[in-house]
Structure 1
């Protein structure tokens, strides 16, 4: 039996990891919550830790734990209101994470799996020139910087202790229950809203929630995962236009995409103060997962079309 401590269990990715682990008899799962659920799931241990802070005490939560899966953290914020966002990200994502990891090493935890972000690599690629796990990191925003600093601190800790560290950098994650821009796009398509996004020729990597969870669970036990950094995607890169057409098909709706040129979209977005949004819609961000597939003998469990069908079905039912 493998006893797993899971942080971020109430989040989009963490909840899916929890459900997958509970489906296997060999895992004993202990999930951390800020506020304990009123009706925890069968076979699930729960414990309360007020937050991911530099002074948090994890000793009781870490008793007899073999593997930590750390999904909690301060996430990327579109409308940042903090005066010093980098300091806030560092307090939670760096010092809070290191506090958990140091206490995990002291408690004899065998492996620490850290859910990082592709933002450690950067904000975009040229088409056909994907990021790799061995690239020199080049984060741009405070969130990406904090994730890189946490990675570096964890790898230093692994070098000084017996605890192994596994770092996973996902690209944009989608699946049942997805929110933010991905859900907004499904809403537009479902309502038949014409979108000026029919002529975008970028390339972007995505990762289905099922595929990310599958990799995380594999990393709890695969010997070759120790002290490695992995990028993860569906291994099927799409343009924004291609993604929207596949999404519309999964929703059973026509894709009303107007072929506006990309230069015009970028110009309008610049005028409206939406440069970051235009970068996500028109820019490329690809990742190369050859290392992940070769070292772990892993392949994505579900295709983009299959994952979009599951995502659309959940969206329509909700």
Structure 2
């Protein structure tokens, strides 16, 4: 049995977020902050929480997983504001992550490994791009699949109609017709129209600048399942795009393209697993702990 602390934090704009903290018996310097995916929540993925938090505890690493304001489909933000996956403004994830890191530091963990899965990976990368927080010593992007992949894996004509309806909406908080999913007009555009702040994994665009990834100075790990059902191309091709833009090489360096500046890059493809790493949680946990020791604890 792993002892856990269930607690609440408040963001700078007054939104209360619930979460779980697992502290090691022997305290270290590092904390792993895990950001959940779209419409998920802090309690989702119980098997992975158990595997990862127990592995962290054995290695003197604290584990933090909290709701973001994008938890569930619709949730209450403030008295006058609905959030959740249907209504959240992606850029406001910075305030959510700030609040979690603030708690970790308050508890004495000054060095942060910032990790996110799926949309949580977008948020982790975007956070460090915006904040450049010196407490963050490494970034893990799990299931880092671009939402733009849906244009190839889904119904492109239907998505085009939804984009058109969303753009025409006078009130961008208006929900789209239910056939397009439960999203406000603004949320749908953020997810599925290229060029928005959320589009931080632009391997779909050969002319993309990758400015968010190229701004990162700490160690970066990208973890993808070889059978991720949301990918529109082989996992290796996705990983090659990340590697090319995370660190500078002779192949990608030029006056126009200064290349990435990450301390290091690790691309981890877990064979046989899907977007949520179901039935491979132990393998994912082992790979993450091994990477933390190799790239951040040294």
Larger relative contact order, structure 1 or 2 (CA cutoff 8 Å, min sep 6):
1
Please state which band the TM-score falls in when normalised by the shorter chain: 0.3 to 0.5
Structure holding more strand per residue: 2
Structure holding more helix per residue: 1
TM-score calculated relative to the size of structure 1? 0.35
TM-score calculated relative to the size of structure 2? 0.36
